[in-house]
Amino acid sequence: MNIRCRKINCKFNHAGTCHAREVHVCRGAYCATYQKDQRKLDLELASELAPTKPNNVPLSCTVCACLYNHDCRCAANGIAVVDNEASNHADCATFIER
């Protein structure tokens, strides 16, 4: 799964692309794999400047309320993850309620 992510302070985020071994999106449609890297700043650095490479991260998703979810699998071509500053979660922006 190609995952573009704007949770820039995550330890798996490199210039707006996820490089985790696998990502789990859980109920509530947020990334449960997110881990804050204390050394990174909360700045939206250069994700637009970096070349976009397909990252093909294995994704599991248990958001059964999502239109793209079939038998606990995400059928989207790729997902976008955004920074929810209010909750400090990394929310799946591709989520569409059925």
Q: Is 8 helix (H, G, I), strand (E, B) or coil?
A: coil
* Binder among 1, 23, 29, 61 for ligand SF4 (CB under 6 A): 23
13 binds ligand SF4 (CB under 6 A): yes
* Binder among 20, 61, 74, 76 for ligand SF4 (CB under 6 A): 20
Answer for the pair 58, 1: CB distance below 8 angstroms, yes or no.
yes
Residues within window 53-82 making contact with ligand SF4, judged by CB under 6 A: 81
95 binds ligand SF4 (CB under 6 A): no
DSSP string, 35-91: -B-TTS-SS--STTTSPP------EEE--TTBTTEETTEE-SSEEEEEEETTTTEEE
Nearer to ligand SF4, 61 or 67 (CB): 61
Which residue type does 55 have? N
Chain contacts with ligand SF4 (rule: CB under 6 A): 3, 5, 7, 10, 12-13, 18, 20, 23, 31, 33-34, 81, 90
